[in-house]
Homo-oligomer: A and B are copies of this chain.
Amino acid sequence: MADISTRKVNPLFLREEELRQGIELLFYAYRDFTAVADQMLEQYNFGRAHHRVIYFVSRNPGITVSDLLSILKITKQSLSRVLGQLVREGFIDQRTGLQDRRQRLLTLTEKGEALERELTEKQRALIAAAYREAGAEAVEGFRKVMLGMLGEEDRQRFGDDGPTGFRQRAG
């Protein structure tokens, strides 16, 4: 399985170069990818953190605060600042959980949905253009490689238990 790295024939220069290109592709793509939404966020006086919260609440309606934290991997205090703003300004609703009333289930308001669409629009367009140019086969390869870089935990979210495996719907 991993014998390649132990071959006598040596892990050639091209392989090293290939890997470095991979590193850089990831850097550049992510940089540009976030940049297209940043412009729009400024108009609302929001930052990337707000975008991520809006995005993942959109993807997982009814998600709990702790599940959101485990996606974002930031502290409760960091989330609090951002989430508090979004709730106060009417982009996100909090409902008390029915089974467990300690939980605050998060959903986007209509206003929040509208902002989410606006924010993700350019990112979708960027990816859509890249997918279209590259073709279906390349897209399959892209997904394979990207999935391979994720930990088991994250990889499961791309399985068959819903978009990210955190969705709750119920409330």
Interface residues of A (CB under 8 A from B): 2, 4-5, 15-33, 35, 52, 55, 59, 73, 120, 123-124, 126-135, 137-151, 154, 157-158, 163-164
When the two chains form the complex, which single residue of B5, B19, B25, B137 contacts A141, counting CB atoms closer than 8 Å? B137
A141 in contact with B134 (CB, 8 Å): yes
16 more CB-based (< 8 A) A-B contacts, given A17-B163, A138-B140:
A18-B131, A22-B131, A23-B123, A24-B59, A24-B163, A25-B143, A25-B147, A26-B33, A28-B146, A32-B150, A35-B73, A129-B148, A130-B148, A134-B141, A137-B137, A139-B145
> Using Cβ atoms and an 8 Å threshold, which residues of chain B touch A32?
149-151, 154
Q: Chain B's nearest CB lies how many Å from the CB of A7? A: 12
How far is A167 from B162 in the complex, measured between Cα atoms in Å?
A: 45
B23 in contact with A146 (CB, 8 Å): no
A22 in contact with B150 (CB, 8 Å): no
Query: Could you name 17 residue pairs across A and B whose Cβ atoms are closer than 8 Å?
Result: A18-B131, A20-B124, A21-B158, A23-B127, A24-B59, A25-B143, A25-B147, A26-B30, A26-B127, A30-B30, A31-B73, A32-B151, A130-B147, A130-B149, A131-B145, A138-B145, A139-B145
